Structure 1
Amino acid sequence: MDRALRAGVALYNAGEYHAAHDPWEEEWLELDAGRDRDFLQGLVQFTAAVYHAREGNERGAVGLAAGAREYLAPLGSEYRGVALDPVRAYLDALAADPTVVERRDPVALDVEGVALAVADLTFEEAALAARALAAEYDYDTDLLDRATEFGRADLDAGRATSPFVALVMDFAEGRNRALVYRRLSEHVDRREHEERDVEGLFG
């Protein structure tokens, strides 16, 4: 839950309003009814409202803003470290006038008082963000999953440096994403080839 929350917040704060909902939605689908589920549903609808307002779909933005407000209303001024009063205020402004997004940047999401950036994420959190961005920009999510598995294995093995960890995090941060993806693909191919060679020796 915390990883998904932080990954989505960082994506949202980076302006990836559409991709931000992916980590939250995957977690939300696994939850039973309750405050955590309502919280994530509210965040999903909040980011969707911002996205639709920016795309010019005013009716959709207003409906989503009202839905998000309803989900978040009973959760107090803060929930799971996320300050909700600024979110509610922005939702009210958005519902009253969806063109507010043209005059005023969407409110940043704070976790424990920090407006999280992708660079603030752990590897596991960045991997969730990277997967959401791969889906958003039509990269192969299976490749990102394999790279994440290799990065996790390198960390578990105590390797001080891992190209998979560095490149997955670079992909999430958006620096030269096409080039990073190409390098990830090359490293994944190389690691899979090495594993097949080992299996051939001992299989």
Structure 2
Amino acid sequence: MRDHLRAGIAIYNDGEYHAAHDAWEDHWLDLESGTDDERFLHGLIQFTAAVHHAHDANWTGVRGLAESGAAYLAALPADYREVNVGEVRTYLRAVAADPEHVERAAPPRLTHENVALRPEDLRFEAAAVAAAVLAEEYGYDEETVEKAVTYAREDLDDEKATSQFVTFVMDFARDAANRGIIFQRMAGVVGKRDHRESDVEGLFD
């Protein structure tokens, strides 16, 4: 929960509203319906969807999402899971009353543990979640990113002092301006690792 939550918050604050929705949805789908955590993530998903649709001036859609998002968050404490839920709820209610409110007031930045997270604040597991959803969002080969995450975890489990895979996964999540170059380099080292592992497996055939 924590890694998905922090990943979504960080990329939402970076303006990636749709990708933030995906970061939370991956975990939300596994939660029991009606639980506080399920309603919490559902509310955040509706919130980011409302902000996303506002860019298309789809006011009917924005109103519906704001109403449902506010309803999902209604019974939760204002600081549930140490996120500024109260501020989000207030904003959603204002948008539900007047969808064009989004043109006059920017949506609140999300905070976790009193920090408005950005991608550079994420540790590896949360960065891995962010990398996966950003790969999907921008059409990068998702299998390559998944393999890089897997190899990074193997390196971390082996307590390697440095790992190209950890670096590439975290940089891919953090550095939007250079993401294309980072992906190319990531793909190169993933290909080399794949080749090396297939050679080792071939010794035992």
* Superposition TM-score tier, normalisation by shorter sequence: over 0.9
Counterpart residue type for residue 137 of structure 2: E
SS at match of 2:144: helix
Quote the offset at 1:184 in angstroms: 0.8
SS at match of 1:26: helix
Equivalent in the alignment of 1:110 = 111
SS at match of 1:111: coil
Equivalent in the alignment of 1:10 = 10
Instruction: Give me the CA root mean square deviation.
Output: 1.2
CA distance in 1, matches of 2:95, 2:142: 33
Equivalent in the alignment of 1:53 = 54
CA distance in 2, matches of 1:180, 1:98: 39
Equivalent in the alignment of 1:154 = 155
Equivalent in the alignment of 1:62 = 63
Equivalent in the alignment of 2:187 = 185
Counterparts of residues 87-98 of structure 1 (less than 5 Å)? 87-98=88-99
CA distance in 2, matches of 1:51, 1:30: 24
CA distance in 1, matches of 2:141, 2:114: 34
CA distance in 1, matches of 2:98, 2:136: 31
Contact 1:54 1:102 (C-alpha < 8 Å) held by counterparts: no
Contact 1:54 1:101 (C-alpha < 8 Å) held by counterparts: no
Equivalent in the alignment of 1:28 = 28
| Residues 140-166 of structure 1 deviation map (CA, whole Å, 9 limit, x = unaligned) | 111111000001111111111111111
**Structure 1 regions of 5+ residues with no counterpart?**
none
CA distance in 2, matches of 1:194, 1:56: 51
Given the alignment of the two structures, is residue 43 of structure 1 paired with residue 50 of structure 2, yes or no? no
What TM-score, normalized by structure 1, do the two folds share?
0.96
CA distance in 1, matches of 2:195, 2:115: 42
Equivalent in the alignment of 1:121 = 122
Q: Percent identity?
A: 52
CA distance in 2, matches of 1:145, 1:132: 11
Q: How many residues align?
A: 203
CA distance in 1, matches of 2:135, 2:3: 18
SS at match of 1:30: coil
CA distance in 1, matches of 2:126, 2:95: 29
After TM superposition, the structure 1 stretch with the greater mean CA deviation from structure 2, 172-181 or 119-128, is: 172-181
SS at match of 1:20: helix
CA distance in 1, matches of 2:103, 2:165: 38
Counterpart residue type for residue 25 of structure 2: E
Equivalent in the alignment of 2:200 = 198
CA distance in 1, matches of 2:71, 2:102: 21
Equivalent in the alignment of 1:145 = 146
CA distance in 2, matches of 1:56, 1:73: 25
CA distance in 1, matches of 2:135, 2:105: 28
Counterpart residue type for residue 195 of structure 2: H
Quote the offset at 1:88 in angstroms: 1.3
